[in-house]
Structure 1
Amino acid sequence: MDNYIVDFAVFGNPISHSKSPIVHNIFSKKYNIKKNYISFLVFEKNFYLILDSFFKNFGKGANITAPFKENAFIYSDIITENARVSGSVNTLKKLKNGKILGDNTDGMGLLYDLNRIKFLKEKCNILILGAGGVVRGILQPLLSLGNSIYILNRTKKKAENLKIEFSKYGSIEVFKKENKKNIFFDLLINAIPLGGIEDFSNILNGVLHTKINCYDICYRLGGLTPFLFFCKKKLVNNIHDGIGMLVAQAAYSFSLWHNIFPEIDPIISILKK
């Protein structure tokens, strides 16, 4: 990394699919900020060493994607309230004193996009697939609206841990099979990787209905994600991917670094084209 003058970057594994460099470089060009932003593939064994090298050289800010958001929380010297509540970090900023500030913009990005597409209501029933770092980032903002959240995850223990940790913010439960029959879900959010819903197909068959809103945090430009394709086959009318969340959470990161909150909607349109 010493051979590169890189101011900002996104770190994750996998990373080749990431559109964050495109988004942030468009932001920088629009506001005449001459900074480089690229992506780095990292591994568990060298995550901290790579970040140390980045920030000791030219690095000023970083985005962290799966599966390292909880590692980034540990790495941070100072954390924001959003990061503290979620226990995960997706945005890092090097402060003037050399300390690293950790923030989480996932929840704000999701709320922005759900409001944009009119998927968000207060006091509704929400089923979330997954229990990873991105879920940790979105739970408190969703609970703050009085929604009832149910977590469905392959590893039940992780879902139970989230229930214990976040129950102080509102109504959160681990999804049970009988919930298929006795709960009408208004919103279904997929927060597991592309192609990872096979284990849940039987459960989803009992949850999906024509009026439910289905949102995939993942995205596939030019087509539907496997999750949204599955929902569409079940005649769900309202489906949406996470490209808007990607741009919105990036905008909040950009604002943390540059004190400028960029326009979001035009970038969403550019990416879709």
Structure 2
Amino acid sequence: MKQKPRYAVFGNPVAHSKSPQIHQKFAEQENVEIEYERIFAEIGGFDEAARAFFAAGGLGANVTVPFKLDAYRFVDEHSDRALAAGAVNTIIPLGGGRFRGDNSDGVGLVNDIIHAQGVEVAGKNVLLIGAGGAVRGVIPVLLEKNPASIVIANRTDEKAREAAERFGIESLPLAELPAAHFDIVINGTSGGLSGEIPAVAPEVFAQCSLAYDMVYGKDAEPFLQFARSSGAAKTADGLGMLVGQAAFSYSLWRGFEPDIKPVFEYMKSL
């Protein structure tokens, strides 16, 4: 019996990931059968887990927290998006034990903000909270949309400063963010997975037209609730980003471009 094409998402934690359901819906659109699994990797064990998956016939992988920087180091070639971000969330095997890395996070985020949420990025002041692979992945695509400014803030100031220098943007300590300045506030920390919200003052949201959390579902709710109660006009979790980046990954692996909208509506209904 012929084996189905195999794909996976690597993370820690990863049991919560909705990526398998999303990719199965894309496969239905393409009228093919695939296998897509969640793979938990130990911290420090990403390379070993990824090599084992591809050695067993894996044809593509997504990478979520905290392994996007590990994945960047793991691959042999990088797309322009991955090079700009310094982070990889999509791995494509090239054959002969070689791999190409891409980053679909920024495409997924920006498309969701502009097209689904109806909020323009051009001319806006954007705050990014967090400085890990997820945040680095979206900065290059945000910059392409010509915002008035992007400020990055993180619990560890040094990581924020490093990212700011890399992309030519500003960094500020969380406690020093200006009040009523930001139009779009994006939480890219993984704190929501453990119920934490970033230590920012409520006044930061006073003129916020959109507060966005890159995580989705109940994990995003503490931050979004805080943003709403602090004055944010609109809030959104990262489900649209997830579906959008997944569609981009799927097209890289299979050369088929899925229709995002029905899959997003399906995932919202779960």
Task: Compute the TM-score of the two structures, normalised by the length of structure 2.
Answer: 0.91
2:155 corresponds to which residue? 154
Following superposition, the deviation at residue 78 of structure 1 comes to 1.1
Deviation, 1:120, is 2.5
For this pair of structures, how many residues does the alignment match? 261
What is the correspondence of 1:250-269 to structure 2 with a 5 Å cutoff? Answer: 250-269=246-265
Partner residue in 1 for 2:204: 207
Structure 1 partner of 2:138:
138
Shift of 1:154: 0.4
4+ residue runs of structure 1 moved beyond 2 angstroms?
175-179, 234-237
Change (3 A) 1:178 1:191: closer
1:207 and 1:232 map into 2 onto residues whose CA distance is 12
- Aligned-partner Cα distance in 2 for 1:191–1:11: 18
Amino acid at match of 1:25: Q
Q: Matched residues in 1 for 2:198 and 2:100: separation?
A: 38
Identify the range of structure 1 (113-122 vs 91-100) with the bigger mean alpha-carbon deviation.
Answer: 91-100
Deviation per CA, 1:162-207: give whole Å up to 9, x if none. 111111xxxx1112555414x621100011121332522xx2x121
CA RMSD between the two structures: 1.8
Q: Deviations over 1:232-269 (max 9, x none)?
A: 22242211111000000000000000111100011111
Write the deviation string for residues 7-38 of structure 1: whole angstroms up to 9, x where unpaired.
10000000011000010011112212222101
How far apart are residue 139 of structure 1 and its match?
0.6
Q: SS of the counterpart of 1:33?
A: coil
What is the aligned partner in structure 1 of residue 181 from structure 2? 184
| Distance apart, 1:57 and its partner CA | 1.3
Aligned match of 1:56: 55
Task: State the match for 2:167 in structure 1.
Answer: 166
How many Å separate the matches in 2 of 1:211 and 1:180? Answer: 12
Q: State TM-score, norm by structure 1.
A: 0.90
* Equivalent residues in 2 for 1:1-273, closer than 5 Å: 7-116=6-115, 117-147=117-147, 148-167=149-168, 172-175=169-172, 179-181=177-179, 184-193=181-190, 194=192, 195-200=195-200, 203=201, 205-209=202-206, 211-220=208-217, 225-273=221-269
Q: CA deviation at 1:91?
A: 0.3
SS in 2 for 1:60: strand
CA change 1:58–1:127 in 2 (3 A) is same
Q: Kindly tell me: are residues 139 and 211 of structure 1, through their superposed partners in 2, closer, same or farther at Cα, counting changes over 3 Å?
A: closer
Task: Indicate how the Cα distance of structure 1 residues 41 and 5 shifts in structure 2: closer, same or farther if over 3 A, else same.
Answer: farther
C-alpha deviation, 1:108, in angstroms: 0.7
**Once the 2 structures are TM-superposed, how far is the Cα of residue 211 of structure 1 from its aligned partner?**
4.8
Alpha-carbon distance in 2 for matches of 1:270, 1:139:
28
State the distance in 1 between where 2:254 and 2:108 align: 17
TM superposition shift of 1:208: 1.1
Kept in 2: contact 1:5–1:58 (CA 8 A):
no
Distance verdict in 2 for CA 1:140–1:92, change over 3 Å:
same
Shift in alpha-carbon separation, 1:132–1:260, aligned structure 2, 3 A = same
Structure 1 residue 210: deviation in Å?
5.5
Matched residue SS, 1:119: coil
> Contact 1:90–1:104 (CA<8 Å) still a contact in 2?
yes
Deviation at 1:98, TM superposition (A): 4.1
Cα 1:211/1:98, change in 2 over 3 Å: closer
**How high is the sequence identity, in percent, across the aligned residues?**
37
Give ranges in structure 2 of 5+ residues lacking alignment: none
Q: Secondary structure at the match of 1:73?
A: helix
Whether the 8 Å contact between 1:211 and 1:236 is mirrored in structure 2 is yes
